[in-house]
Amino acid sequence: MEPLLGPEVAAFRPGWPALLLWVSTLSCSVSSPALPSPSLVPQIRTSYNFGRTFLGLDKCNACIGTSICKKFFKEEIRFDNWMASHLELPLDYLPSYPANYSDDSKTWRPVEISRLVSKHQNEISDRSICASTAAPRTCSIERVLRKTERFQKWLQAKRLTPDLVQGLPSPLLRCPSQRLLDRVVRRYAEVVDAGSIFMDHFTDRDKLRLLYTLAVNAHPILLQIFPGAEGWPLPKYLGSCGRFLVSTSTSPLQESYGAPPDQAADLAYQLLGVLESLRSNDLNYFLYFTHVDAAMFGIFNNGHLFIRDASALGVIDKQEGSQTAAMAGENKDIFSCLVAGCQAELPSCDTIPEKQSLVLVCRQVLPQLLQGKFPSPVQEQIDALLVQCGEDARPDPEVLGAASQLKDILRLLRTCDPRFAYRYPDCKYNDKF
């Protein structure tokens, strides 16, 4: 029988009472007196099982990892008071949860606890895993995945190569280069000794967790390989527990649709700058969106705009070139179909235009942020440039030119005051900010 917790979690038994209290609060099934009577013990045990299931630890190693579970057990990660949504959905149906994180139990900072996919989608994919071997509706998911031909190849591999990820649905892996895959292995934070491009230090459990994460949603992997600490516009990956990941907290961009003109101009300017950094950067990776919406972008409390959801980001290696997944259709298996069924073939990497992310953002995000914010004739100029920038039929240079003109206008509409803490007071002394 597969262990439900990794060794690093199982060894930390002193923190389990804290988890019992925490999940008891979640399930609202037990009020916790200082000295619980024997009659309450079964109820507490039931609550603990609910908590383990809530986190997805009962599904490991078909999960993200266990690197931050100790923080939960030590109550150094605490959910905000409001756990239920305004729609009164059950707690375990929410896609993400606001929480607070501490390294010393004294100072706290906001974080976000989120799922790779919805609970409903997890249930569908788990059933599909069992059905793939004509197993009962419930089965040992890990045992089924371990027996697949793909995972057996992973077990033998010392290096993550493009053939091992062919057929996986993530845009990250649509055009994988060896340089990109080496970066995935070297930066993978769920193993103890990260830093090598070889997987000699990966246990069987580590390999299954990495493969499962890449197959379901590569968002946490992107946070690790393109960290904000190195200038990438992504929140910090703090770790995972079961099927949840913990990252630094941002507020969704759509919450700023009603922002005053100077703040709207600042956010739009930042967003165009983010897309520019994805197209052109020192590492020679071309990152592009396959689709966008405002919820994919977030704002830190200092006003800095980041990519909140990286699941729709594709990556093309401009330096090494990408090994196009021409055989992807022949390599589809249960890992290819865990999220939305076996998807249709994606377009060739060679057909991804440089303008793609700009067109999507100028068409679907910026109009709502900038609409009716400014006096005439500035508003008319902005609206006209948004139309040009959002026209997919225009050639790349015209779209890029319209975006550049729009960015120049927005730069002049920004103001310099403490509301924009990410660039204040630098903006008082340097026009760059």
**DSSP letters along 352-410, please?**
--TTHHHHHHHHHTHHHHHTT-S-TTHHHHHHHHHHHHT-TTS-HHHHHHHHHHHHHHH
Q: Which pLDDT value is given to residue 395?
A: 97
The pLDDT > 90 percentage for the chain reads 63
| Cα–Cα distance, 295 to 365 (Å, whole number) | 10
Express each pLDDT in 357-374 by its tens digit: 999 999 999 999 999 999
Band (pLDDT 50/70/90 cuts) for residue 314 is very high
According to DSSP, residue 75 is labeled: T
Task: Tell me the pLDDT band of 192, cut-offs 50, 70 and 90.
Answer: confident
In this predicted model, which residue has the larger pLDDT, 21 or 117? Answer: 117
Could you read off the pLDDT of 195-249 as tens digits, one per residue?
A: 899 999 999 999 999 999 999 999 999 999 999 999 999 999 999 999 999 999 9
Whether residue 252 has pLDDT greater than 50:
yes
d(CA 169, CA 337): 8
Structure tokens at 264: 């709207």
Neighbour count for residue 411 (Cβ, 10 Å)? 15
Say whether pLDDT at 265 is over 90.
yes
First to last CA, the chain: 57
DSSP 158: S
Cα–Cα distance measured from residue 343 to residue 179, given in angstroms and rounded to the nearest whole number: 26
pLDDT range class, residue 81, cuts 50, 70, 90? low
Q: How far apart are CA 339 and CA 357, in angstroms?
A: 23
- Is residue 83's pLDDT more than 50? no
Residue 382: pLDDT above 80? yes
For residues 273-291, give the mean pLDDT.
96
Q: What pLDDT is recorded for position 52? A: 78
Q: How confident is the model at residue 375 (pLDDT cuts 50, 70, 90)?
A: very high
d(CA 225, CA 42): 44
Task: Residue 244: name the closest of 101, 95, 102 by CA.
Answer: 95
Nearest in space to 6 (alpha carbons), one of 49, 67, 78: 67
- Would the pLDDT of 2 be above 90? no
Higher pLDDT, 324 or 348: 348
pTM, to two decimals:
0.84
> Residue 219, CB half-sphere, CA atoms under 13 Å: how many?
24
Q: Is the pLDDT of residue 106 over 60?
A: yes
pLDDT for 269 beyond 90: yes
User: What is the rounded CA–CA span in Å between residue 318 and residue 367?
Assistant: 31
For residues 38 and 145, the model is more confident at 145
Residue 137: what pLDDT?
Answer: 66
Q: Which of 58-67, 120-129, 263-272 has the weakest average pLDDT? A: 120-129
Mean pLDDT of the chain: 84
Across the range 409-426, mean pLDDT stands at 93
For the segment 16-75, what is each residue's pLDDT rounded down to a tens digit? Answer: 333 333 333 333 333 333 333 333 333 333 333 446 788 899 999 999 999 999 998 888
For 291, half-sphere exposure in the C-beta direction (CA atoms, 13 angstrom radius) is 5
